[in-house]
Amino acid sequence: MKKLKLRTVVTTDGEIDDMDSFIRFLLYSNDVDVAGIILTSSMFHYRGTAEKPAYRWTGETWIPELIAKYGHVYPNLMKHDPTFPTPESLLSVYRIGNVDDVSDMTEETEGSNFLADLILDDDDRPLYIQTWGGTNTTARALKSIQERYEGTADWDTIKKKVEDKVVLYIILDQDGTYGDYISKNWNIKTLNDSLNFGYFAYGWKGLPEAFRASLNADWHLTHLKNKGPLLDQYALIGDGYYLEGEVESEQFGQQAWLNQHPDYEAYDFISEGDSPSYFYLLQTSLRGFENPGFGGWGGRFREISPNTFTTNQTIDYNPYTKRFEQEYSLYRWIPDIQADLAARAQWCITDDFKSVTHYPQVKVAKKDIQAEPGQIITLQAKASDLNGYSLNYHWWCYHEASSYWDFSNLELESDVFRLGDMDHVSSWHSKEMEIDWALPLTGEDTPVVQFTVPEDAKPGQTLHMILEVSNVADLPLKTYERVIVTVK
């Protein structure tokens, strides 16, 4: 069966966590259609001008250099999935965008014009623009389209095409161009993660131990080091790496930084705050890209205004803390995310298909079901393993994504931290509580699960059933399916 690949553009400002996110992105480039890679600026990183000096600028060569490292492991990766893009094809879509200053969108650039051409081309698939830095290069591309067509007979058609095609996934909104230009001139579907990404970024030390375990030094030394020239570039705390152009306080690889931060160990995780923007596009997103409220590796969102979605106050129940928490909707997936990377890391160093794990092949007959209240539902999966490994099955209900349960009346409180002269919310959560979801499953650890649609379910309400199938191996890989039961 042909794999669905969503079309995407990466825009990035070149922070150390962007570089780590980009390394991982290359290892998942077989699961998306990479239409563009564009260097841009942000409030944290810009190249500077004759009048204004550069700020934390890490240069324009790191992307080609990492693609070259990818080229060294590409022959092995191809043995495990022949749809990995060639290094040459990735390099061919790299452009430098608007990088001179924060919110720089005054002039057209090679990157902005390249992006404008992608937006206007004849490929009518959605174009997911990942925003790891500022939105300024995207804003300049849209501004160029507006200047070119506004006032012409084609403008209404062009504007509708752009608004139907472009999807923005913004990490933190790192300059003013979205608020000042994009949102005021375009009705573009926008997912804005202003908080949850932080728990797979610099805030990871605040996670419960069960979720920190795969971000600690021992995990990295076991699963990422000595796994080929690409992953050898993956930056870790205290690994000796010095990032040219970065300020000294952000030189995580240096012993001086470790000395000032005794809570960390050498080879601990730094950050991959931008990775959720492409996790959202993967098939491991559990159909999350179909609806931002479904939830998955890229987070779960709610619509706060037409076509604008945020992770703020979208809450999942955390069984470790017994609270509904905003951040749990993303960090609940971290063990799976890291286990998946560990297995793929093995692909980088071996051309022997049989010696490493691959994804179980899973099929569920129907992924969307209509049902009556009180109806008994039976779901059956068929699965096989490409290497002949035994398989584990686990069905569960994603209650928070299901509309049968209503959490709108929960009283939420926020944790606030001070950054400079401003207060920032670090999370929304409920008080501690016990909860009984009252949806018993029969056979949840077998290929066939059975349950009863609640008698009081109302028409249109949904139950989201998740199937996880993983191979019994040293480094298991997991395949997911989501079945949505809608009440008639």
Element housing 190 (H / E)? strand 189-193
The pLDDT of residue 48: 98
Residue 108 has pLDDT above 70, yes or no: yes
Element housing 419 (H / E)? strand 413-419
Residue 308 has pLDDT above 80, yes or no: yes
The pLDDT of residue 246: 98
Which of these, 6, 158, 132, 121, lies nearest to 63 by C-alpha position? 132
Q: 415: which 2 tokens?
A: 């944790």
Confidence class of residue 164 from pLDDT cuts 50, 70 and 90?
very high
pLDDT tens sequence across 176-205: 999 999 999 999 999 999 989 999 999 999
Distance CA 386, CA 169 (A): 34
Distance CA 95, CA 118 (A): 12
Task: State the pTM of this model.
Answer: 0.97
Q: What stretches of 280-436 adopt beta strand conformation (E)?
A: 302-305, 308-310, 316-318, 323-325, 361-364, 368-371, 376-384, 391-397, 413-419, 422-429
Distance of CA 81 to CAs 75, 77, 328, 389, 477, Å? 10, 6, 32, 18, 14
pLDDT tens sequence across 344-374: 999 999 999 999 999 999 999 999 999 999 9
| C-beta of residue 227 within 8 angstroms of C-beta of residue 351 | no
Name 302's bridge partners: 310
Which of these, 16, 1, 77, 32, lies nearest to 298 by C-alpha position? 32
DSSP 350: -
Residue 2 has pLDDT above 90, yes or no: no
The pLDDT of residue 417: 62
Distance of CA 123 to CAs 2, 29, 165, Å? 18, 19, 9
Percent of the chain clearing pLDDT 70 (strictly above): 98
4-18, 170-184, 406-420: least confident range: 406-420
Site of tokens 């079901």: 369
Confidence class of residue 427 from pLDDT cuts 50, 70 and 90?
confident
Class of residue 261 by CB neighbours under 10 A (exposed 0-12, middle 13-18, buried 19+):
middle
SS3 for 56?
Answer: coil
pLDDT tens sequence across 53-93: 999 999 999 999 999 999 999 999 999 999 999 999 999 99
Mean pLDDT of the chain: 96
Confidence class of residue 284 from pLDDT cuts 50, 70 and 90?
confident
Q: What is the number of other CB atoms lying within 10 angstroms of the CB of residue 172?
A: 21
Distance of CA 252 to CAs 213, 261, 338, Å? 20, 10, 21
Residue 483 has pLDDT above 90, yes or no: yes
Domains of the chain: 1-356 (3.90.245.10), 360-488 (2.60.40.10)
Q: 173: which 2 tokens?
A: 């909104």
